[in-house]
Amino acid sequence: MGIFNKIKESLSKTRDSINDKLETVIKTFRTVDEELFEELEEALITADLGVNTSLEIIDRLRSAAAEKHITDSKALKGELAQILKDILKEGSSNELNVFGLPAVIMVIGVNGVGKTTSIGKIANMYRKQGKEVVIAAADTFRAAAIEQLEVWAERAGVRIIKQQEGADPAAVVYDAINACKGKYVDVLLCDTAGRLHNKKNLMEELKKIHRILERELPMGGKEILLVLDATTGQNAVQQAKEFKEAADITGIMLTKLDGTAKGGIVFAIKNEFDIPVKLVGLGEGADDIALFDPDEFVNGILDLSDEE
């Protein structure tokens, strides 16, 4: 199965949640009036786009309809699709900022969202592109995290730098940087602890790691990716809010997109925090990962063709 078909298939539950609601409203109201907009607004809110984001989308849709003199409700779907794409593209880029030798991707997220698996998938993705990858097992709070990363590193055929459970995470990252220097390593993947119960400690830990990266690798590209579980819906929005207060997040990897009807949270997170989704997890396998494409995503959830 090609990557586009895999993405479209993975969005089936979200598509059923969003598109079915929208189609029902559009078919019920043949003409464009205020009652139609109110029903569309409710449909978006119940599809996990969030209240504030849904209100903004409908305001934009209302303005577009007035400006273009749209009177047929069916014509609104194309306008809505463009608004959704614009939201995902505005501000920060959806592209991974990976350049330099090595580029650094620091990965954060609470336990249980698929952070360790995501790092393994990213390592595998770049390794298949012929890139040299090193993983820094800096989530030293959990021995299981280190062990899981070892398994993924072996699968992907990449090197892992680790210390014992309870070691200083920044020291692990420092060791990993030294392991990369002069070795033509393309990507350094840094796992980090995902504890939010003490945000101050987490913030200080991440700042310490960031200072080491800036000092030792000042020229390379750097990403701070927040891993979120799509199945948690609005809870993922709250996690984005809390982590944004603790770290300068540059992007999101959204996991378990294939198992949820709550993919609409992508719009809420991007609109409220200007954090773009950059990667998506589409299943359990090592290859079930894809770069996020806003056009592809919106077309997939609204059941539109590429040409639309």
pLDDT at 197: 54
What residues form the annotated binding site for GTP?
Answer: 109-116, 191-195, 255-258
Q: Which of 60-64, 67-71, 242-246 has the highest mean pLDDT?
A: 60-64
pLDDT at 18: 84
Percent of the chain whose predicted confidence (pLDDT) is above 90 = 31
**Mean pLDDT, rounded, for 39-43:** 91
pLDDT at 57: 94
**Mean pLDDT, rounded, for 12-29:** 83
> Does pTM surpass 0.95?
no
**Residue reference for tokens 């033509």:** 184
DSSP string, 153-193: HHHHT-EEE---TT--HHHHHHHHHHHHTTTT--EEEEE--
- The answer to whether the CB of 101 falls within 8 A of the CB of 220 is yes
More confident residue, 261 or 26: 26
pLDDT at 1: 43
The answer, yes or no, to whether residue 43 has pLDDT greater than 50, is yes
- The answer to whether the CB of 277 falls within 8 A of the CB of 252 is yes
- The mean predicted confidence, pLDDT, of the chain is 85
The answer, yes or no, to whether residue 52 has pLDDT greater than 50, is yes
Question: How many other CB atoms sit within 10 Å of the CB of residue 68?
Answer: 10
pLDDT at 110: 84
User: Which stretches does DSSP call E strand in the chain?
Assistant: 103-108, 133-137, 159-161, 187-191, 222-229, 251-255, 277-281, 289-291
pLDDT at 190: 94
pLDDT at 86: 94
- The answer to whether the CB of 133 falls within 8 A of the CB of 156 is yes
The answer, yes or no, to whether residue 2 has pLDDT greater than 60, is no
CA 128, CA 163: separation in Å to the nearest integer?
27
Q: Which of 1-15, 71-85, 194-208, 233-247 has the highest mean pLDDT?
A: 71-85
pLDDT at 13: 79
Question: How many other CB atoms sit within 10 Å of the CB of residue 24?
Answer: 12
What residues form the annotated binding site?
Answer: 109-116, 191-195, 255-258
pLDDT at 259: 67
Reported as a single tens digit per residue, the pLDDT across 182-228 is 788 899 999 987 766 566 777 788 888 888 988 998 877 889 999 99
Tokens for 53, please give them. 């984001």
More confident residue, 256 or 179: 179
Q: Which of 9-13, 20-24, 81-85, 227-231 has the highest mean pLDDT?
A: 81-85
Reported as a single tens digit per residue, the pLDDT across 130-175 is 999 999 999 888 778 888 899 999 999 999 999 888 888 899 999 9
